Chains A and B, each alone.
Chain A
Amino acid sequence: MFDAFVQVVRQDLLAAFRHQSAILNPIWFFVIVVTLFPLGLGSDPTLLSRIAPGIIWVAALLAALLSFERLFKDDFIDGSLEQMMLSPYPLAWLVSAKIFGHWVLTGLPILLVSPLLAVFLSLKMDAFCALFLTLLIGTPILSLLGAIGVALTVGLRKGGILLSLIMLPFSIPILIFSTMAIEAASFGQSYLGFIALLLAMLVGAITLAPFAIAAALRVSVS
């Protein structure tokens, strides 16, 4: 069972490393969007550090959205999604593996470039720690939520914009709690409560989302 999980993740990573632009493009997009804000709003460090959490999180959301399209599309087109459904392993389990692979390719790079953005937006150390934590917990939730939307729209010809319509509203709570945590951190207050809330949401998403995704994929593939 665990072998199947590793196998799916490995395949996805290998396929992604073969087309490296697939990994790099969303990251570049993320960095460029964040860069646009100081250029549009002026380079006042106090202003930037105040709005940094919102900017970084909105950019992360948009970058995640861009990368989602590929999550199930290739497998849908070449029929490996149907293969997955026929395999002896539960679909929800295999889907979790795919999402984990997707997070490694999109969420993890965002985490890795976040120090750079913290420097760009003159975030203080405390705020950066909070940002890092919220990204660490929040991006997997985004991947799980987004995968539901992808699974629902993968069979449609024009699924792209619809995906953002149905997925973005659900990601609002993550955005709110994350930015509140970072704000609290930048004022030197404790932000553990928000982190706990995000963790609770992550646990909920990990346990429930794979089943919703599996059900949605069954609708899309039939």
Chain B
Amino acid sequence: MWKWLHPYAKAEHSYALAGKLMPWFLVLTIPSFIIGIVWGLAFAPADYQQGDSFRIIYIHVPAAMMAMAAYSTMAIAAFIGLVWQLRLAEMAVAAAAPVGAIYTFIALFTGAAWGKPMWGAWWVWDARLTSELILLFVYMGIIALYNAFSDKVLAGRAASILTLVGVINLPIIHFSVVWWNTLHQGATITKFEQPSIATEMLIPLLIMIFSFATFLGVMILYRFRSELLQREQHRAWVIKLVQIKGRG
């Protein structure tokens, strides 16, 4: 595996690979997003208790799940970057952080907009919303730390270390549902043996989760390429790339 991976430790190859992968993710994202959002908004039956307000679930749950997934991606990348001294992995951490932060913000905002008609308040100090808020703080801390360094190599390392420290937070977020008694519904999808959500509602939700996941991939790849360009801007391959672009 290392033999196969080795060429991709070179910036130029990674740039090309990321560029090759990105359209595939994009091709998966756009149709799944359109199908999922139309199905969820117009075709899925209304919830018998929450009426049509439950349709917020089709962005709330995918955003919340993928915010966590983005963090896991960052944690894995940070681990690889620090253990094997792979700078590219540290760049992936920097590339994923803003995407994760935006997803977390979406999850929080939609949670608030869902909470208002359901609980009668925009904000309730419920375990999941609170831990989502803490996740947003952690993301902001990582982004702020990354931007504070002018040397981007050091910035990547520092952000990676902070990401790994923050991993301790993820289990706490996960178990907070158990620890605190809350107003929020328990985990809806993970209970496969006893589905508390109807199939007609579940399918568009899964499609939306898929769409959010692939979009996360697109954005990470895109930002990863930008990071690469910035850091390698004095290398010959970037100069060649810019010259070709300038002519075309």
Complex A–B touching at CB under 8 A: yes
* Residues in chain A within 8 A of chain B (CB atoms): 148, 152-153, 155-156, 158-159, 162, 165-166, 168-170, 172-173, 204, 212, 215-216, 219-220, 222
A residues within 8 A CB of B140? 165
Binds A, one of B11-19, B112-120, B159-167, B202-210: B159-167
Count B-side interface residues using an 8 Å CB cutoff: 22
A residues within 8 A CB of B157? 219
- Bound-complex Cα distance A190 to B96 (A): 43
Interface centre among A153, A155, A159, A170 (most CB of B within 10 A): A170
Contact of A152 with B172 in the complex, beta carbons under 8 Å: no
B226 CB within 8 Å of chain A: no
- Bound-complex Cα distance A100 to B233 (A): 44
- Assuming the contacts A165-B141, A212-B161, asked whether A170 and B169 have C-beta atoms less than 8 A apart, the reply is yes
B137 CB within 8 Å of chain A: yes
Interchain pairs with CB closer than 8 A, number = 56
A-B contact pairs, 15 of them (CB 8 A): A152-B162, A153-B148, A155-B154, A156-B148, A165-B141, A166-B141, A166-B144, A166-B145, A168-B137, A170-B138, A212-B161, A212-B165, A215-B82, A215-B161, A219-B154
- Assuming the contacts A152-B145, A166-B141, A168-B137, asked whether A204 and B161 have C-beta atoms less than 8 A apart, the reply is no
Contact of A162 among B137, B148, B165, B172 (CB under 8 A): B148
Contact of A222 among B148, B154, B165 (CB under 8 A): B154
A residues within 8 A CB of B168? 170, 204
| Min CB–CB distance B98 → chain A (angstroms) | 16
| Min CB–CB distance A167 → chain B (angstroms) | 8
Contact of B137 with A216 in the complex, beta carbons under 8 Å: no
Q: Name the residue on A nearest B154 (C-beta).
A: A219
B residues within 8 A CB of A165? 137, 140-141, 144
Contact of A148 with B137 in the complex, beta carbons under 8 Å: no
Contact of B154 with A170 in the complex, beta carbons under 8 Å: no
* Residues in chain B within 8 A of chain A (CB atoms): 82, 134, 137-138, 140-142, 144-145, 148-149, 154, 157-158, 161-162, 164-166, 168-169, 172
Contact of A169 with B137 in the complex, beta carbons under 8 Å: yes
- Bound-complex Cα distance A183 to B19 (A): 55
B residues within 8 A CB of A170? 138, 165-166, 168-169
A residues within 8 A CB of B158? 152, 216, 219-220
A residues within 8 A CB of B134? 169, 172
| Min CB–CB distance B158 → chain A (angstroms) | 5
| Min CB–CB distance B30 → chain A (angstroms) | 35
B residues within 8 A CB of A219? 154, 157-158, 161
| Min CB–CB distance B160 → chain A (angstroms) | 9
| Min CB–CB distance B162 → chain A (angstroms) | 6
Other than A166-B144, A170-B138, A215-B161, give 15 A-B pairs with Cβ distance below 8 A: A148-B162, A152-B161, A155-B154, A156-B148, A159-B148, A162-B148, A166-B141, A166-B162, A168-B137, A170-B166, A172-B134, A212-B165, A215-B82, A216-B158, A220-B154
